[in-house]
Chain A
Amino acid sequence: MDQQEANILTVEGLNVSYGNFQAVQNVSFSVRRGEIFGLLGPNGAGKTSTLSAVEGLLKPESGSINVDGYNAAEKPLYARASLGVQLQSTSFQPELFVIEVLQLYGGIYGLSLTKNDVLAILRDINLEDQAFKKFGQLSGGQQQRVSLVIATIHNPKLVLLDEPTTGLDPQSRRQLWERIEAIREKGHAVLLTTHSMEEAESVCDRIAIIDHGRVIAIDTPQAMIDKHREDKEVIAVSRRGKITLEDVFIALTGKAVRA
């Protein structure tokens, strides 16, 4: 397999600006088929901006994005057809029932789902009895489950999840990890962002740390820990003598809280 075939997503030299402010600077990384790739970085690092460029929500200043062999700038619909997306702040039409939202997105992805199909999908995530509620009436965790199921409704080759577990209780979080791993089992890839180092260590095959719009490290979580284990910045921030991914993350991105 050549590079092109091994990678479901390739981002090269990506630059994204908002007016004069450059939020993403020369970012390059690739996500392999069948891998869970984590994008880590402090608030405002440029994670959502990077994903937005991949999703086609914003036009990058420069750089190239390739999804499953399709250049996202030249063939946006083909690139997007292979993507399943959960945005950081998801909103669906507040007038629609959950079941109708699922039918809408099924239709948008070219599936014709009967009412029973949709109920089966909801049963699978334990939300069958919420089918006739409005999305806004669900709890935060239930909303997350619905938007994840919508992101994967068309069995996409690459699923983009922007902070999928923020606000979830430990049970739901574990369950979501299992669902994310199930996506990988099917041979599909996941690109997610998270602020949880525990999550990155537990589910991600590889991670990229991004800060001030730049990628500062890409590796497996374990290799990243091993590589920086002896750094004095890492040892300085470590607690109780055990070096964690969080220590490495803080050492690499600095202690300051972001604006």
Chain B
Amino acid sequence: METVIPKTSTVLAALLKADLTTQWRNRRAVILTLIVPVIILMSWKGLVAAAGGPFVLSNSITIGLIATGLMSYSNAIARDRDKGIFQRLRVAPVAPWTIILSRLIVQMMMILAITTLVFIVGNNYDKITLTPAGYAFSYLTAIIGGAVYLSLGQMIVGRITSPETVSSTTRLVYFVFIMVGMFGELNVLGKSVHDLEHWSPYGTVKTIVAVSMEPGKWNSDTSTSLLLTIGYALVFATLGIKWFKWNTK
């Protein structure tokens, strides 16, 4: 009897269906992830006139990307690994990367959902509108930016095995990002903090997302930010993959 390996597309479809169902059953947590950027968007309404729509939108989107990539993704991976769910999947004739790819596709959908939600609320509540090119371009940069935080999440689950420690670590990093982002962006702590923030994984993502909303304003600073963003993603992902173990024992 000839041994047949299931098609990758069939395997991926089955995994994706399960992962989307899981996401749906966890919709309360998903909604909380979506709500944070909306709260920021609404509470910064007063800044729209002074700092501009893209400034407010891009900060909200960046916070949302951090919440989903850094928090949701890594905590789900840490939990499932600890429960042995990956081990059970891995004894099937499944290439291990398909297991992660399916998770990442779900996260990409979350990134698109967050970006869309911010655009809708920004339009309805803050009366911010962009050109069609601005909208299209910012989806692209949101995905690139999201990749930074997903790979940072991957790096954290690569280094840390205990789900509890992953949870507290990601919360801490999330908090640091929000603090650095808020204070740096609002320029209340002086130039050096502002510079640090500008070139940090928060600042570079925020910059490319913001400028892509007004593509005409793209300049060398934006290009540097884009390169740095891609660099961050590559470094984090390389380490995250290198360190990653499928079981916690």
Is B a genuine binding partner of A?
yes
Contact B10 A112 (CB under 8 A): yes
Q: Is B133 among interface residues, defined by CB-CB distance under 8 A?
A: no
Contact A108 B11 (CB under 8 A): yes
Q: Is A103 among interface residues, defined by CB-CB distance under 8 A?
A: yes
Q: Is A89 among interface residues, defined by CB-CB distance under 8 A?
A: yes
Q: Is B21 among interface residues, defined by CB-CB distance under 8 A?
A: yes
Instruction: Look across to chain A and name the residue whose beta carbon is closest to the beta carbon of B13.
Output: A107
CA distance A6 to B23 in the complex (A): 46
Encode A135-164 as 1/0 by CB contact (under 8 A) with B: 000000000000000000000010000000
Contact A106 B14 (CB under 8 A): yes
Closest Cβ of chain A to B27, distance in Å, is 10
Contact A107 B10 (CB under 8 A): yes
Residues of A within 8 A of B5 (CB): 77-78, 81, 110
Given the known interface contacts A87-B84, A91-B84, A103-B14, the answer about A82 and B3 at a Cβ–Cβ threshold of 8 Å is yes
Q: Is A57 among interface residues, defined by CB-CB distance under 8 A?
A: yes
Contact B91 A85 (CB under 8 A): yes
Contact B11 A110 (CB under 8 A): yes
Instruction: Look across to chain A and name the residue whose beta carbon is closest to the beta carbon of B1.
Output: A157
How many of chain B's residues touch chain A, expressed as a range? 20 to 34
Contact B4 A107 (CB under 8 A): no
Encode A20-62 as 1/0 by CB contact (under 8 A) with B: 0000000000000000000000000000000000011100000
CA distance A94 to B83 in the complex (A): 9
State which residues 72-98 of B face A: CB under 8 Å: 80, 83-85, 87-95
State which residues 198-221 of A face B: CB under 8 Å: none
CA distance A82 to B89 in the complex (A): 15
Question: Which one of B3, B15, B88 lies within 8 Å of A70 (CB-CB)?
Answer: B3
Closest Cβ of chain B to A49, distance in Å, is 11
Q: Is B192 among interface residues, defined by CB-CB distance under 8 A?
A: no
Instruction: Look across to chain B and name the residue whose beta carbon is closest to the beta carbon of A76.
Output: B93
CA distance A191 to B219 in the complex (A): 65
Question: Which one of A80, A101, A110 lies within 8 Å of B10 (CB-CB)?
Answer: A110
State which residues 89-139 of A face B: CB under 8 Å: 89-96, 100-101, 103-110, 112
Instruction: Look across to chain A and name the residue whose beta carbon is closest to the beta carbon of B19.
Output: A93
Instruction: Look across to chain B and name the residue whose beta carbon is closest to the beta carbon of A83.
Output: B91
CA distance A194 to B15 in the complex (A): 32
Contact A77 B95 (CB under 8 A): yes
CA distance A89 to B10 in the complex (A): 27
Q: Is B124 among interface residues, defined by CB-CB distance under 8 A?
A: no
CA distance A95 to B80 in the complex (A): 11
Contact A107 B11 (CB under 8 A): yes
Contact A108 B4 (CB under 8 A): no
Contact B83 A78 (CB under 8 A): no
Contact A87 B87 (CB under 8 A): yes
Closest Cβ of chain A to B237, distance in Å, is 23
Contact A91 B1 (CB under 8 A): no
Given the known interface contacts A93-B22, A96-B22, the answer about A107 and B93 at a Cβ–Cβ threshold of 8 Å is no
Instruction: Look across to chain A and name the residue whose beta carbon is closest to the beta carbon of B89.
Output: A108
Q: Is B25 among interface residues, defined by CB-CB distance under 8 A?
A: yes
Contact B3 A93 (CB under 8 A): no
Q: Is A181 among interface residues, defined by CB-CB distance under 8 A?
A: no
Given the known interface contacts A56-B90, A108-B14, A110-B10, the answer about A93 and B85 at a Cβ–Cβ threshold of 8 Å is yes
Given the known interface contacts A77-B93, A81-B93, A93-B85, the answer about A110 and B4 at a Cβ–Cβ threshold of 8 Å is yes
Contact A100 B85 (CB under 8 A): no
Closest Cβ of chain B to A144, distance in Å, is 14
Instruction: Look across to chain B and name the residue whose beta carbon is closest to the beta carbon of A70.
Output: B3
Give the interface of B toward A (CB within 8 A): 1, 3-7, 10-11, 13-15, 17-18, 21-22, 25-26, 80, 83-85, 87-95, 246-247
Q: Can you report 28 residue pairs joining A to B where beta carbons are below 8 Å apart?
A: A57-B247, A68-B3, A77-B5, A77-B95, A78-B3, A78-B5, A81-B5, A85-B88, A87-B88, A87-B91, A89-B84, A91-B83, A93-B18, A93-B80, A93-B85, A95-B26, A96-B18, A100-B18, A103-B17, A104-B14, A104-B17, A106-B14, A108-B6, A108-B14, A108-B89, A110-B7, A110-B10, A112-B10
Give the interface of A toward B (CB within 8 A): 55-57, 68, 70, 77-78, 80-83, 85, 87, 89-96, 100-101, 103-110, 112, 157
